Amino acid sequence: MQAYEVRGFKVQEDTAVTGRPMGFWMALALVMGSMIGSGVFLLPASLAPLGWNSVIGWIITVSGALCVASVFGALSKALPKAGGPYAYTRAAFGDGAGFAIAWAYWISMWVGNAAIATAAVSYLSQLFPIVGTHGVSAAITIAIVWAFTLINIRGTKLAGQVQVIWTIAKLLPLVAVIGLAAYVLATQGTGPVRTFDPADISIASISKATILTLWAMLGLELATVPADKVQDPERTINRATLFGTAGAGGIYILVCSAVVLMLPVANTNASAAPFADFVNIYAGTNAGTAIAAIGAISALGALNGWIMCQAELPVALARDGLFPVFMGKAAANGTPRNAHVFTTSLLTLVILMNSSRSMASMFEFLIVLTTAIVLVMYFGCAAAAFRLIQTGALKVGAGFKIILLLAAIYSCWTIYGAGAEALIWGVALLFLGLPVFWLLRLARGSKPTT
């Protein structure tokens, strides 16, 4: 370890990891590839009844996400340290708060990865029906998560290259749908578009759309987690976070709005694959198989990025003495092999424990749990930024303080909108981490601090 100072704040860097294989494009692919997963293909069916309210909801969601992304970007400049949200909350509020955020966020990662892997297998079952049968689906899901874990153990550079390839693979069909919508509008005018009626716009519908679209934006912070693997982290992470959030948000708005507003409501409400129906109607092709394949590719691409980061948090905790030492040990190539194996073992356990559920019910439960924790984490990081500004560790202008306030308000609003169940899960997991923190500190012979 060696210490250095960034903007008046002392930062510990692990000198054992000498290589920084992740440049801007890999970091950007990590953000966009992890955000654009299964949600974009499933959301139109849920948003269809909301009509133009969904467009307004998307604009609010993307705007709020950009405010949150700006906060993470500023924090990454001041504290370019591995762990991201953990490093920021620990610097602001101490070991206890940092551990609680990291503990809950780490759990949300591998639990959320079970949801993403389940979604990928669900899409694959449309291509190969045997995949959806009881027992087979769990076995294939486990095989997929371990395959991506092995890729990440082989090296961050390889994992980053795989992420770039998966991101390009999933963006091409989405861009094609945008191009098809543009072609239809150019040749048929606005006739196919649902009529805008101000009387249909309501605060309740917009709020519902905002909460529905939030799941699709989770992951904007991921470039901050493996900061010690990123080249020029003070600059690269900030740019990748902002550009990745804006890029993914822009694609979401265009793609989902095209499907929601240009596909007849009756079709969208009853459709299990609204994207396929959209292409079928306007391109005259049977696209169901292709859309299922694209959905699987999209979910798998998101899974690779999340698996990369699910091992980085326990490593950061172990290096600071807040997690077992073996979790912080790296392989010869610098990858956190022990943390990968341990975390994916927990992920495997989640899949096995939920194998008796249907894939749909399992996916919904895991989404609620993951979203709850991430929302609390976003608010915690906004609070950390406020605190670091007060202490002088984070030096910003008046304009950023307004953005920070908006990010905090947005985080609170989304926590409220997510409902009581989500909030209870999020808070419970935060407090569940505190006894673990106390026991770990006690085992090391140190007095617990919170």
Q: Which fold has domain 32-443?
A: Amino acid/polyamine transporter I (1.20.1740)
Pairwise CA distance, residues 73 & 219, whole Å? 13
Pairwise CA distance, residues 200 & 344, whole Å? 46
Pairwise CA distance, residues 95 & 438, whole Å? 10
pLDDT tens digits for the chain (450 residues)?
434 343 333 444 443 344 677 888 888 888 888 888 766 776 777 787 888 998 999 999 999 999 999 999 999 888 888 788 988 999 999 988 888 888 888 888 888 888 788 878 877 887 787 877 777 888 898 999 999 999 888 877 777 788 888 788 878 888 888 888 898 899 888 888 888 888 888 888 888 888 778 878 888 888 888 888 888 888 899 999 999 999 999 998 998 888 888 877 666 666 656 777 787 778 776 666 777 777 788 888 888 888 888 888 888 888 888 888 888 887 777 788 899 999 999 889 888 876 665 555 555 666 667 777 888 888 899 999 999 999 888 888 888 999 999 998 888 887 777 777 777 877 787 788 888 888 887 877 655 444
Pick from 23, 410, 42, 75: which is nearest to 259 by CA?
42
Give the helix ranges, DSSP H, for 263-357: 265-270, 274-283, 288-310, 312-319, 337-353
Are 74 and 238 contacting, i.e. CB atoms less than 8 angstroms apart?
yes
CA distances from 93 to 81, 90, 200, 368, 374 (A): 16, 5, 45, 27, 18
Q: Where are the domains of the chain?
A: 32-443
One DSSP character per residue, 375-405 reads: HHHHHHHHHHHHHHHHHTSS---HHHHHHHH
Are 261 and 194 contacting, i.e. CB atoms less than 8 angstroms apart?
yes
To the question of pTM greater than 0.85 for the whole model, the response is no
Pairwise CA distance, residues 187 & 261, whole Å? 17
